[in-house]
Amino acid sequence: MTVHAIEATAISKKFGNLLALSDVNFSVADGETFGFLGPNGAGKTTTIRILTGITAPTAGTATIFGHDIVRETIAARRQMGIVHEISNVYDDLSAWHNILFASELYNVPRSAGERRGKELLELFGLWERKDDRVKVFSKGMKRRLTLAMGLVNDPRLLFLDEPTSGLDVQSNLIIRDVIRELTGQGVTVFLTTHNIEEANLICDRVAIINRGQIAAIDSPERLKKTIQSVQSVEVAFDPSSPKLLEHLRELPLVSEVRKEGDKFRLITEDPSGVIENVTTYAREHHTRIISMTTIGPSLEDVFIRLTGLMIRVKGVKAID
Amino acid sequence: MTDLNESCGQLCRELKAAWAIAKKDIRIYYLKPNIIVSGMLFPLFMFLAFAIGRDAPPTMLVPGLIAITILFSASSIEPVSIPIERRTKTFDRLLSAPVSLHSVVLGESMSGFLYSTGIALVPLSAGIILFSTPIVQPLALIGGVLLTSFCFATMGTLFAAYPTESPGDIMSMLNLVRLPLIFVSGVFIPVNALPQIGQIAVLFSPLTYGNDLIRAGFEGTTHFNPLMDVLAICVFILLFQVAANHLYRKFNE
Ligand SMILES: Nc1ncnc2c1ncn2[C@@H]1O[C@H](COP(=O)(O)OP(=O)(O)OP(=O)(O)O)[C@@H](O)[C@H]1O
Ligand SMILES: [Mg+2]
């Protein structure tokens, strides 16, 4: 029998009257990259805090490579690296002292800690700045340093709480590359995000969590299949007019229309029927179709469906 | 290969992590202005307020100054550093490290302990140089300084368990305890000279026993049995350590 990297059984967490997590069950296999996807306040950080033993669950249990996180906290933690949601670096220490402190806290021998520290600072593009106090670092630099600190003990299991939120493209790419490389080496990664594309790109499996409850767990592709009914046709017209939105909504077979930039997205269960209707409409109204494509459901569609964030249609953008 | 680290068991790991925490505090907090104010200037002014206008001999005043300097400086690091680290979330690093909470508490207290031992040298050398106060029992003096420092450093860590992100909250609670302690510890008023109720109250103050040892360093005699002094301080240290461990766990639920 292989032991799971993470096994969470019936976890609940109450803060006073607030039920932050309710009967959360999932397991993460050794070597898997597992994404926890959910809107703000869904309970992602709370889950990580429970799995890393910072807070105790109100009910339920969690094991890390077979070690109960409440009863065998230290044995469980020795296997893990943690990158907290907020870049919690020591502003008054240099980058170098930050990383050395992290290695001492995890009992990495001094020489190994220095070697690994240097490697990681180089990897994250911070080696030239190693003697600067972190106070003067930019947000992205602090984030990269936080990641480096989480890796200094060569963890078997890495917790990443929104590793890339608020970062520029370059920092994002570095971080994603590092995650890919780690998974290539067999490291298990548990990451939270509200960036659907990120989850789609790097996760083997994704759990969608909303209001403290898990709505679905599966691979990104399989999740998309579950809502095969949500297909869509994307179309652009020339000339485009604001009236089009009204008209397209009234076309038969179309269940919903979203304006996306200069294009319209028509949600339907029957893409080919809609294509015919749109073509007819264009001919009758003397407008030209510049482009028209059918697209399958995206993870975003799954997410919206499962978390019930349909208010988006009314103009409130609820997800990044 | 049997290098030191591989033969190092969990206890050894715990102590190393505690030392890493202490070192980090030393690097970051020893030079913070508010720590210098509460750790050095505060006891000095307290002392002046008492000493000026009284014609007590230096052998009476110097040990008292040392005792209150320790009281204030040892408990001035953690009540500042821990709320700040709660705010910056760096405290979560310590709470999620592969070490027991006891080691976190110990590491935090160690920085206060070293700070106060260093600061105590100031009134000590002032006493020796300015008033040429003789030291008659160096062992009692050293033991008194070290134990008292450790005791109040742990007390500082205990108070810092209160889950706030503002150092002021903890400082005001702490002063509610530290200020009265000065009066019921025989620091400026000898235990014998206190009223009956005061003589009972002194028994519950760790400063009484620390002050007794430090005073013995200069005067040669103790009010209590010196062994009882040592034992009493150790009991307080243990009490504070266990209570701190309990509170950090509780407030983190
Ligand atoms: N210490 C706490 N005390 C009280 N309530 C809390 C505490 N920590 C979290 N909560 C509540 O638990 C719920 C889940 O919070 P959590 O931080 O886990 O969300 P999240 O999914 O990480 O959100 P985000 O995407 O904004 O980071 C929220 O309603 C939050 O207010
Ligand atoms: Mg969060």
Domain boundaries along the sequence of chain A: 6-219, 225-319
Phi and psi of B244, rounded to 5°?
Answer: -60, -50
Contact yes or no for A56 and B21 at CB 8 A: no
Alpha-carbon span B186 to B68, nearest angstrom? 11
Contact yes or no for A105 and B99 at CB 8 A: yes
- Ligand 1 neighbours, Cβ below 6 Å, are A 15, 18, 20, 38, 40-46, 85, 194
Mind giving me the DSSP string for A89-119? --TTSBHHHHHHHHHHHTT--HHHHHHHHHH
Which residues of chain A have a CB within 8 Å of the CB of B21?
Answer: 105
Query: Which alpha helices (DSSP H) does chain B contain, by range?
Result: 10-29, 33-36, 42-51, 58-74, 78-87, 91-95, 101-131, 138-159, 167-183, 196-201, 206-219, 226-250
Element (H, E) at A281: helix A271-284
Q: How many Cβ atoms sit within 10 Å of the Cβ of residue A113? A: 20
The matching CATH number, chosen from 3.30.230.10, 3.40.50.300, 3.40.710.10, 3.90.1150.10, for A6-219 is 3.40.50.300
- Decide if B123 is inside a domain: yes
**Number of domains into which chain B is organized:** 1
The residue whose CA has the least distance to atom 29 of ligand 1 is A41
Single-letter code of the amino acid located at A60: G
Alpha-carbon span B78 to B108, nearest angstrom? 7
Alpha-carbon span A173 to A179, nearest angstrom? 10
Optimal mutation site among B31, B96, B111, B245, interface A, most CBs of chain A within 10 A: B96
Among the ranges given (A131-135, A224-228, A309-313), the one the predictor scored with the smallest mean pLDDT = A309-313
Which residues of chain A have a CB within 8 Å of the CB of B17?
Answer: 104-105, 107
Phi and psi of A61, rounded to 5°?
Answer: -135, 160
Q: How close, in Å, is residue A137 to chain B by CA atoms?
A: 15
Contact yes or no for B13 and A107 at CB 8 A: yes
Alpha-carbon span B6 to A102, nearest angstrom? 19
- Decide if B3 is inside a domain: no
| Nearest by Cα to A34 from A22, A12, A59, A51 | A51
Pocket test for ligand 1, best of A36, A45, A86, A194 (most atoms within 8 A of CB): A45
Contact yes or no for A91 and B100 at CB 8 A: no
Mean pLDDT of A54-67: 95
Single-letter code of the amino acid located at B66: I
**How far does residue B64's CA lie from ligand 2's centre (Å)?**
51
pLDDT at B2 over 60: no
Residue of A nearest to B30 (CA): A92
Alpha-carbon span B222 to B234, nearest angstrom? 17
Optimal mutation site among B86, B88, B90, B104, interface A, most CBs of chain A within 10 A: B90
Using a CB–CB cutoff of 8 Å, tell me whether B55 touches chain A.
Answer: no
The residue whose CA has the least distance to atom 3 of ligand 1 is A15
Q: Which of A284-298, B26-40, B149-163 has the highest mean pLDDT?
A: B149-163
Spatial contact of B206 and B158, defined as CB atoms under 8 Å apart? no
Cβ burial, residue B162 (10 Å; 0-12/13-18/19+):
middle
Q: How many Cβ atoms sit within 10 Å of the Cβ of residue B39? A: 25
ipTM summary value: 0.89
Alpha-carbon span A112 to B67, nearest angstrom? 43
Strands annotated E in A73-204 = 80-83, 157-161, 188-193
Which residues of chain A have a CB within 8 Å of the CB of B100?
Answer: 74
β-bridge mates for residue A207, sequence order: A36, A217
Whose tokens are 């001919």? That residue is A283
| Nearest by Cα to B87 from B163, B159, B35 | B163
Tally C-beta pairs within 8 A across A and B.
67
Phi and psi of B192, rounded to 5°?
Answer: -60, -30
pLDDT tens-place string over residues A42-58? 999 999 999 999 999 99
Optimal mutation site among A85, A107, A143, interface B, most CBs of chain B within 10 A: A107
What predicted TM-score, i.e. pTM, was given to this entire model?
0.85
Domain with B178, as residue range(s), is 14-251
pLDDT tens-place string over residues A256-278? 888 888 889 888 888 888 999 99
- Nearest by CB to A54, from B27, B28, B95: name it: B95
β-bridge mates for residue A36, sequence order: A192, A207
Q: How many Cβ atoms sit within 10 Å of the Cβ of residue A187? A: 21
Using a CB–CB cutoff of 8 Å, tell me whether B232 touches chain A.
Answer: no
Which residues of chain B have a CB within 8 Å of the CB of A107?
Answer: 5, 8, 13, 16-17, 98
pLDDT in the model for residue A313 = 41
pLDDT at A141 over 70: yes
Tokens of A131: 């003697």
pLDDT tens-place string over residues A266-315? 888 888 889 999 999 989 888 889 888 888 777 777 777 777 654 444 44
DSSP secondary structure code for residue B166 in this structure = -
Tokens of A314: 């009314």
CATH number, span A225-319 = 3.30.70
pLDDT tens-place string over residues A19-47? 999 999 999 999 999 999 988 889 999 99
